[in-house]
């Protein structure tokens, strides 16, 4: 995508749909580097499908104007990880700015995160208008595509409203000239649109309950739509609505739900790249090593570059490949999880490993000696390729998984003063999977369980913000400001957008 114009302006520019990511079901044969205007494309079912691929594509975006892995950035904004990178640092100034809460109009991840999501929204809006009248597109296929696109538009808006709060709400293709007169919608209006899109997606009979992993893994399902809607309700503090949606997803705690989900017996199996789309995975963002890309593909990598980023720098021992030293774990997380059975599957104690094996690594910025295990770069995953191997890790990111929805439902039930016995059963099931005993369920128990179960999976920052605990947990965090990011400066110029409080 073009990098030298504002992201909102980009939403109305020519769209290179044929150069979209190809992952899992998206592994369609590329037909070249063709760029086509809105009026010249979407003429047949094949082109509509490629347009659908383009709507999914920003999900896996990791390299915008800088290294902009959403998962990595959310980790460093939380108390799970620091920014890291090469010493003495800062290595990536945008990562450090969010880690230290020194984000300003010149430094921070806001440009890439804003652009990633508005690119997805533009493509969603465009495809929804272009499917009508495509003669060889069956009605049932169109209905399914429509439901998928509405889910994805809701997903992108949910990211935006949490990250920026005050955002333009665009639900139709509009002339490029209109972007300069756009104003920001009330967050309540954005949430209402998210609810509408997800509710309509769920109601669509042609949105499947589940999909075949080998051919369609990564595509939206009815269970994913209900899980996301339940999460949205949770953030809106609509406790009863959240509990109802998530109960449908979860079924009887500890058993297989009607959507086919159940907790894996072995916790570390969740994150193994040969176990993609497992029964705990509800919405999974797909990466592949099949593209065999090198540095010439900057901005369009198909592999999971964050895997390379979070490995220990200069490491020369067994098990792990050398990385770039980002996202070192904080002592706060290590101390919280050290006596928990999930510790060894969450944390890499690099100091102990190098001492035991006679190997070494470079202590980068913010080094504590501890690194992320769940998505760490392992030698076994670094297969020989024609491209640059460190750019082609195939580890997926599970954005929503069953243990997460169990704990969200338990929280909603307790907040609503509802079925505390079911809330207890949900928390117990998550703990029993790692052989932990039952403890009486409270909100603090649930929040602690979320931290330990979901550590380094990108949920902690939002959990701290939405529960009002961020200022106490995050050094440098200023309440009333750092809950959200500033509107990118480039998108403020010559528009009617108003900057977020504290960033003027």
pLDDT of residue 16: 34
Residue 501 lies in a domain: no
> 158 and 180, same structural domain?
yes
Contact 392, 377 (CB under 8 A): no
Structure tokens at 93: 């100034």
pLDDT of residue 197: 98
Residue 401 lies in a domain: yes
Q: What is the pLDDT of residues 278-337, one digit of tens each?
A: 999 999 999 998 888 888 888 888 999 999 999 999 999 999 999 999 999 999 999 999
Name, in order, each residue with C-beta under 8 angstroms of 335's C-beta and a sequence gap of 6 or more. Answer: none
> 449 and 385, same structural domain?
no
Q: What average pLDDT does range 403-409 have in this prediction?
A: 98
pLDDT at 34 over 70: no
Banded pLDDT at 495 (limits 50, 70, 90) = very high
> 195 and 119, same structural domain?
yes
Residue 477 lies in a domain: no
CATH number of domain containing 58: 1.25.40.890
Q: What is the pLDDT of residues 342-390, one digit of tens each?
A: 999 999 999 999 999 999 999 999 999 999 999 999 999 987 666 688 8
pLDDT of residue 385: 64
Structure tokens at 191: 């949430």
Residue 378 lies in a domain: yes
pLDDT of residue 179: 87
Residue 99 lies in a domain: no
> 114 and 60, same structural domain?
yes
**Chain centre to alpha carbon of residue 400:** 9
pLDDT of residue 26: 42
> 307 and 332, same structural domain?
yes
Residue 174 lies in a domain: yes
> 252 and 160, same structural domain?
no
Domain boundary among 378, 396, 414: 396
> 443 and 335, same structural domain?
no
Residue 271 lies in a domain: yes
For the chain, give percent helix, strand, coil, nearest 5: 45, 5, 45
> 377 and 299, same structural domain?
yes
> 404 and 274, same structural domain?
yes
Residue 387 lies in a domain: yes
DSSP letter string, 17-49: GGG----GGG-PPP--S--B-GGGS--SHHHHH
> 269 and 169, same structural domain?
no
How many domains is the chain partitioned into structurally? 3
> 175 and 30, same structural domain?
yes
Name, in order, each residue with C-beta under 8 angstroms of 261's C-beta and a sequence gap of 6 or more. Answer: 223, 249, 250, 251, 279, 280, 282, 402
pLDDT at 31 over 50: no
State the virtual CA torsion across 424, 430, 436, 438 in degrees, nearest 10.
Answer: 0
pLDDT at 484 over 80: yes
Domain of 55 in residue numbering reads as 7-68+109-207
Q: What is the pLDDT of residues 134-188, one digit of tens each?
A: 999 999 999 999 999 999 999 999 999 999 999 999 999 888 888 899 999 999 9
Q: What is the pLDDT of residues 206-238, one digit of tens each?
A: 999 999 999 999 999 999 999 999 999 999 999
Q: How many whole angstroms separate alpha carbon 149 and alpha carbon 143? A: 10
Residue 468 Ramachandran class (φ > 0 left, ψ -120 to 50 alpha, else beta): left
State the virtual CA torsion across 139, 143, 146, 148 in degrees, nearest 10.
Answer: -130
Mean pLDDT of the chain: 91
> 402 and 389, same structural domain?
no
């Amino acid at each position: 995508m073009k990098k030298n114009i504002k992201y909102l302006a980009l939403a109305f520019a020519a769209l290179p749909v044929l150069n979209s990511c190809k992952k899992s079901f998206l592994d369609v044969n590329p037909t070249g580097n063709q760029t086509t205007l809105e009026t010249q494309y979407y003429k047949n079912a094949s082109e509509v499908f490629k347009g659908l691929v383009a709507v999914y594509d920003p999900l896996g975006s990791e390299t915008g104007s800088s290294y902009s892995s959403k998962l990595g950035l959310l980790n460093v904004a939380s108390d799970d990880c620091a920014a890291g990178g090469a010493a003495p640092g800062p290595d990536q100034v945008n990562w450090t700015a969010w880690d230290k809460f020194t984000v300003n109009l010149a430094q921070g991840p806001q440009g890439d995160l804003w652009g990633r999501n508005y690119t997805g929204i533009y493509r969603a809006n465009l495809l929804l208008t272009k499917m009508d009248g495509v003669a060889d597109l069956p009605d049932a296929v169109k209905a399914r595509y429509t439901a998928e696109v509405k889910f994805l538009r809701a997903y992108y808006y949910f990211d935006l409203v949490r990250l920026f709060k005050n955002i333009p709400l665009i639900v139709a293709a509009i002339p490029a000239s209109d972007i300069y007169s756009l104003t920001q919608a009330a967050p309540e209006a954005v949430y209402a649109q998210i609810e509408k899109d997800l509710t309509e997606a769920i109601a669509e009979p042609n949105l499947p309950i589940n999909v075949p992993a080998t051919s369609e893994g990564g595509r939206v399902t009815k269970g994913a739509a209900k899980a996301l809607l339940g999460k949205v309700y949770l953030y809106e503090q609509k406790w009863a609505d959240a509990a109802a949606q998530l109960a449908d997803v979860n079924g009887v705690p500890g058993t297989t739900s009607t959507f086919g989900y159940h907790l894996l017996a072995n916790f570390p199996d969740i994150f193994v790249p040969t176990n993609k789309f497992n029964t705990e995975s509800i919405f999974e963002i797909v990466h592949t090593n099949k593209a065999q890309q090198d540095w010439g593909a900057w901005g369009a990598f198909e592999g999971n570059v964050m895997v390379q980023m979070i490995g220990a720098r200069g490491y020369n021992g067994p098990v792990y490949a050398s990385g770039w030293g980002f996202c070192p774990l904080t002592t706060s997380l290590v101390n919280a999880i050290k006596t928990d059975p999930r510790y060894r599957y969450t944390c890499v104690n690099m100091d102990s490993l190098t001492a035991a094996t006679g190997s070494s690594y470079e202590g980068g910025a913010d080094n504590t000696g501890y690194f992320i295990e769940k998505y760490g770069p392992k030698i076994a995953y670094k297969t020989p390729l024609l491209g640059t191997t460190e750019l082609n890790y195939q580890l997926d990111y599970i954005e929503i998984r069953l243990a997460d929805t169990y704990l969200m439902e338990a929280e909603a039930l307790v907040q609503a003063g509802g079925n505390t016995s079911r809330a207890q059963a949900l928390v117990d099931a998550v703990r029993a999977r790692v052989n932990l005993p039952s403890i009486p369920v409270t909100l603090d128990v649930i929040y602690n369980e979320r931290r330990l179960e979901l550590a380094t999976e990108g949920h902690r920052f939002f959990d701290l913000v939405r529960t009002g605990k961020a200022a106490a947990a995050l050094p440098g965090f200023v309440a009333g400001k750092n809950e959200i990011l500033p509107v990118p400066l480039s998108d403020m110029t010559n528009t009617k957008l108003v900057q977020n409080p504290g960033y003027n």
